[in-house]
């Protein structure tokens, strides 16, 4: 029988330390060639209704699965079907909104761990949505953050975000009056927006800054201007193949020139130690995150295992009639 795990079930077991651990382990397996990845594809129906899907398999653990979600008139609905690679059994169906927030935050936390300066203490973040929350939680888990500046277009939401996250992280969050004010002179910059146009300019970045850009994953969208990308001494992505399809921040600068893309590395290579996350304290480093199914499947598998141990979720019968008929 298939285990159905609701958002509440996922929240009960999935913590940021766990997400960081799982995403790091999955990245090492990705670097070792033990993970198989199919990049995101999108089906566009009339009235801008989208169906998005991406898949991955872990040849070590034997799990495989996909993330599938819709985005229609601003509403998103996420689902991860998790299968056994050994017998094809559908092990679990997971509601995956929170799971996605946590794995995306964990990826930026991992990039921050391996690419930011070890003495990084300040953060500037653009965006005050749900993704921004887990971004800060992950960054604060890997660096001893002392101050955070926040900019979002809505002043009331910005102030509320600062109050809530200050209490949650035990770190002072201060609202900034502009994106530039949030970014200038900070050690770590995070962009977590839905903007189609740059919200961070390269001229604002101080030497030694690390940037996590996570909001734009359509080729026509970007959160960073061209100068911000060009100033990066180390430029990492989750998947080069997927980035060539949808990382607008990079596509605007690198185009289809193979020689330019040759300078881009995958975060997994940095985590595995094959590539250095930075060469000196003055490097500007950039992690452009699009989100890959490797993370979804790895985190879903760990959640599934823990949910079984804690007897969470609900068993649902699928294909039982056809199995008995055979």
CA distances from 68 to 108, 129, 157, 293 (A): 22, 21, 30, 10
**Assigned token pair, 55:** 């898949």
Annotated catalytic residues are 67
Residue 258 has a pLDDT of: 86
pLDDT at 47: 87
pLDDT at 324: 53
Task: Give the Cα separation of 12 and 239 in Å (integer).
Answer: 30
CA 113 to chain centre: 14
The pTM of the full predicted model, rounded to 2 decimals, is: 0.95
Contact (CB, 8 A) for 13 and 310: yes
Length of the chain counted residue by residue: 326
CATH number of 2-100+293-318, picked from 3.10.310.10, 3.10.180.10, 3.30.479.30, 3.30.1780.10: 3.30.1780.10
Domain spans of the chain, in order of start = 2-100+293-318, 117-288
CATH no., domain 117-288: 3.40.50.720
Give the end-to-end CA distance of the chain in Å, rounded to a whole number. 17
Q: How far is the C-alpha of 52 from the C-alpha of 71, rounded, in Å?
A: 8
Question: Is residue 262 a contact partner of residue 22, using CB atoms and an 8 Å limit?
Answer: no
Output the pLDDT for position 217. 86
Structure tokens at 282: 């003055």
Closest Cα to residue 174, out of 125, 246, 119, 237? 125
β-strand partners of 56: 37, 65
* pLDDT tens, residue order, the chain (326 aa): 999 999 999 999 999 999 999 999 999 999 999 999 999 999 999 988 999 999 999 999 999 999 999 999 889 999 999 999 999 999 999 999 999 999 999 999 999 999 999 999 999 999 999 999 999 999 999 999 999 999 999 999 999 999 999 999 999 999 999 999 999 999 999 999 999 999 999 999 999 999 999 998 889 999 999 999 999 999 999 999 999 999 999 999 998 888 889 999 999 999 999 999 999 999 999 999 999 999 999 999 999 999 999 999 999 998 876 655 55
Q: What is the DSSP letter of 5?
A: E
Residue for token pair 């990705």: 30
CA distance 179 to 314: 45
pLDDT of residue 218: 87
Closest C-alpha among 219, 177, 184 to residue 201: 184
């Amino acid at each position: 029988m298939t285990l159905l795990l609701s958002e509440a079930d996922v929240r009960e077991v999935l913590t940021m330390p766990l997400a960081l651990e799982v995403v790091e382990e999955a990245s090492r397996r990705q670097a070792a060639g033990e993970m198989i990845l199919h990049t995101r594809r999108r089906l566009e129906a009339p009235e801008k209704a989208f169906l998005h899907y991406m898949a991955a398999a872990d040849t070590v653990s034997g799990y495989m699965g996909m993330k599938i979600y819709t985005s229609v008139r601003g509403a998103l609905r996420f689902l991860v079907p998790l299968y056994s690679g050994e017998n094809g059994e559908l092990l679990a169906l997971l509601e995956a909104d929170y799971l996605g927030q946590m794995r995306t935050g964990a990826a930026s936390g991992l990039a921050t761990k391996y690419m930011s300066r070890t003495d990084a203490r300040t953060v500037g973040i653009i965006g005050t949505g749900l993704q921004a929350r887990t971004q800060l939680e992950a960054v604060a888990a890997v660096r001893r953050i002392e101050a955070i500046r926040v900019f979002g277009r809505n002043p009331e939401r910005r102030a509320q975000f600062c109050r809530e996250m200050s209490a949650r992280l035990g770190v002072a969050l201060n609202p900034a009056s502009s994106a530039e004010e949030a970014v200038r002179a900070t050690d770590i910059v995070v962009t977590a927006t839905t903007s189609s146009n740059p919200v961070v300019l390269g001229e604002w970045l101080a030497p030694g800054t690390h940037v996590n850009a996570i909001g734009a994953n359509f080729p026509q969208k970007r959160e960073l201007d061209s100068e911000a990308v060009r100033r990066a001494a180390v430029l990492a992505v989750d998947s080069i193949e997927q980035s060539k399809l949808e990382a607008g921040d990079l596509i605007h600068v690198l185009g289809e020139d193979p020689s330019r893309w040759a300078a881009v590395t995958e975060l997994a290579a940095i985590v595995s130690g094959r590539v250095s996350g930075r060469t000196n304290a003055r490097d500007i480093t950039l992690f452009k995150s699009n989100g890959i199914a490797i993370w979804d499947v790895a985190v879903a598998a760990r959640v599934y295992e823990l949910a079984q141990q804690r007897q969470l979720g609900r068993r649902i019968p699928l294909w039982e009639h056809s199995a008995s008929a055979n």
